[in-house]
A and B are shown apart, each in its own frame.
Chain A
Amino acid sequence: MRFLAQDQLEAFLGHLAGQGRVVAPVKGADGVVLFRPWEPGMAVELDVLLAKQAPKDYVFRQSETYLRFGYQMEGVAAAGAEVTAATDRAHAVLKVEPQNDAPAQVIFGLRPCDARGFVQMDNVFGGYGGFYFDPYYNAKREATTLVAVTCRDPRSTCFCTAVGGNPAGTEGADVLMTQVEGGLTAEAFTEKGEELLAFVGFSEAGQAQTLYAETVKEQAVARVDVPFEIEGVRENLRANIEDPGWHDLCMRCISCGTCTYVCPNCYCFNITDEIVEGKGERMRTWDNCFNPLYTLETSGHNPREQKSNRFRNRFSHKFWYYPEKYDSLLCSGCGRCITHCPTRIDIREVLRFMGSPRSAAAPAGEEA
């Protein structure tokens, strides 16, 4: 285990910034903590447990240009020049320029649940032997090094241990740092991580520091609530698909996308061509299953017309269909969807309710 003194942190980040972009949780003037590109002089906020939004955006961009296209005239004679057979063939040629910008970056100060979110998205975007390989996601994923920091003080809304995670989890992290007295301990788990720890500011952690870090980790695990039993949730969600309880649970949902956009692993997207004056871009943007247009088909039919259908999808996707396909959950238990939901819909409550056996009853009532 390595050790970095607190006063060396800025130098370490500066060292990383010299090699590429550094993204870290930073507190804005309004007190809001978000992952932002770090610049020398910025204070990294590690005492606030979770940034408002997971750092997903830096790998899976909220809006990303796939390609630019437009027509370009070719074969046009220069002004005043005599038109010859060769130049009399002016025609428009479609030019397409693929885009895939993937700068080297280090995401510093994300939590183990955020790092695990990337692993869960990897299954979908196919980076690790998957069926469908997404070049945009994977280029950024490859260029990114994740430096996670142990959750010293989990919140009451954290439930990572219930979904197989750990507040000191290493899944997906290249380096795990732990705040101890006087600085941070660090452990690397990948080659990329080893390279970072080669920075001169690191020293070998003393016995006391190692012990401290291990204690922090153990205590953190003990502080995370286990609000539901994951065993059987998948089967019960399947069995309860027509349960009228969905209708009651979704009553206060306002169909916004907050939960999915702050989530470390919600990955749904849409593709749009935006064309202005003959030039355009094909763009991928985040989409979410609460959006009524999400499942709207060309024919005009919408298989998830009711709010309860859309609401049900988010939980079923995370705990039923995704697990069936990839043998892993699509939730790392960060609890952001609970704290940021404008109407305080609680995923734990939904899973306790719909993830347990319920008697089949009459179909849900009408709602638009």
Chain B
Amino acid sequence: MTHHNLTTFLKRKMPDPPGSRIGVCVKGCDSRTLVALLQENLIDKEKIYVIGVPCDGVVSRRRIEKAFNDEVVDISFADGKVTATTRTGESQEFAKDDLLFDHCKSCRYPNPAYADDLAADPVAEPVDQTPMWAGLEEFEALSPEEKDAKLAEVFETCIRCFACINVCPVCWCWDQCVCRSRKPALVSQRVGAKENLMFQMIHMLHVAGRCPSCGACDRACPVEIPLYLLHRKMNKELHEMLGFEAGLSLEGKPVFQTFDVNDPLGEH
């Protein structure tokens, strides 16, 4: 299944001869980012044609590559198995389930939330619809000091290439990003754990209530920073406080654009 969330390419104005539509293929999670954008009227529904691709999970290329010192040159799929072969011909078989991204393992929405057409029959949705926040348990178990230390360690390696935000479909400011702006200089351009974390926090808050944890930022990061720690945590909080999940249906509204006197947050 494709690695990328292709809806990110709808952010830019594409060459569009009058009357033409842009076709886009979306997995379950990709479709939720698309729906989030449609809910905010950031994309014109009439200008796109959405081909939904029911998804059985995306395999992490990096997880395969780390199993070898040599370069992986071939990856093939058959019957729930993944076979990877290196340049020197060394080959290893993995169970596909072991290679899936964490958020794919606990995915509750494998079928597109919105599509004009489906490329295949919908896949079975998991019976257990309890939200799982894979990877967070370990982080949440830490004390505040330990969390600080963990985040400092993780964000120290950030190279501020902005791949995470540019690849993010719901990160919409694009050329006008506050984190890149030097006039006004609102965010320090210094590269360091603290400043890098600040930049990520801004990204996280800007996509709060719009991010369905598609994991595009995680996959794009050249130094493999586990960005899900922030985004999934935010989504978990939104779900627990407000019972909200981003991009589930066209009729829905982004959580921060609604006001409801019966808001469950009132009970907190």
- Sample of 8 A–B contacts (CB below 8 Å): A47-B69, A256-B220, A260-B161, A270-B182, A270-B189, A340-B222, A342-B219, A367-B12
Give the distance in Å from the alpha carbon of A261 to the alpha carbon of B160 in the complex. 9
For window 181-224 of chain B, which residues contact chain A by CB distance below 8 Å? 181-182, 185, 188-192, 219-220, 222-224
Stretch at the interface among B50-58, B162-170, B254-262: B162-170
Does B185 contact A274, Cβ atoms closer than 8 Å?
yes
Residues of A231-276 whose CB lies within 8 A of B: 247, 251-252, 254-258, 260-262, 270, 272-274
- Is B14 on the interface with A (CB-CB < 8 A)? yes
Say whether A256 contacts B15, CB under 8 Å.
Answer: no
Which of B9, B180, B185, B189: most chain A CB closer than 10 A?
Answer: B189
Evaluate whether A367 and B69 lie within 8 angstroms (CB atoms) in the complex, with A32-B223, A274-B190, A293-B181 already known: no
Q: Does B87 contact A (CB under 8 A)?
A: yes
In the complex, the answer to whether A254 meets B161 with C-beta atoms within 8 Å is no
4 smallest CB-CB distances across A and B, nearest first, come from: A342-B220, A256-B163, A292-B175, A340-B222
Known: A274-B189, A367-B15. 14 other contacts (CB 8 A): A32-B223, A48-B69, A63-B191, A247-B15, A256-B167, A262-B159, A274-B185, A274-B188, A283-B190, A285-B189, A285-B190, A285-B191, A292-B180, A293-B180
Which of B167, B175, B222 counts the most chain A CB atoms within 10 A?
A: B222
Type the 1/0 row for B216-255, where 1 means its CB is closer than 8 Å to any CB of A: 0001101110100000000000000000000000000000
Q: A47 to B70: give the CA distance in the assembly, Å.
A: 8
Binding site for A on B (CB under 8 A): 4, 8-9, 12-15, 66, 69-71, 73, 87, 157, 159-163, 166-167, 174-175, 180-182, 185, 188-192, 219-220, 222-224, 226
Number of A positions contacting B (CB below 8 A): 45
Q: Please name all residues of chain A whose beta carbon is closer than 8 Å to the beta carbon of B157 when the two chains form the complex.
A: 28, 32, 34
Q: Are A342 and B223 in contact (CB under 8 A)?
A: no
Proximity string of chain A (18-62) to chain B, C-beta cutoff 8 Å, 1 when within and 0 when not: 000000000010111010000000000001110011000000001
User: Which of A62, A255, A292 is in CB contact (< 8 Å) with B159?
Assistant: A62
Which A-chain residue is minimally distant from B176 (CB atoms)? Answer: A292
Contact of A257 among B161, B167, B188, B223 (CB under 8 A): B161
Whether A283 touches B159, Cβ cut-off 8 Å, given contacts A252-B9, A270-B182, A342-B219, is no
B223 touches A52 (CB 8 A): yes
Residues in A neighbouring B70, C-beta threshold 8 A: 153
- Asked if A283 contacts B167 (CB within 8 A), the reply is no
CB neighbours of B167 from chain A (8 A): 254, 256, 342
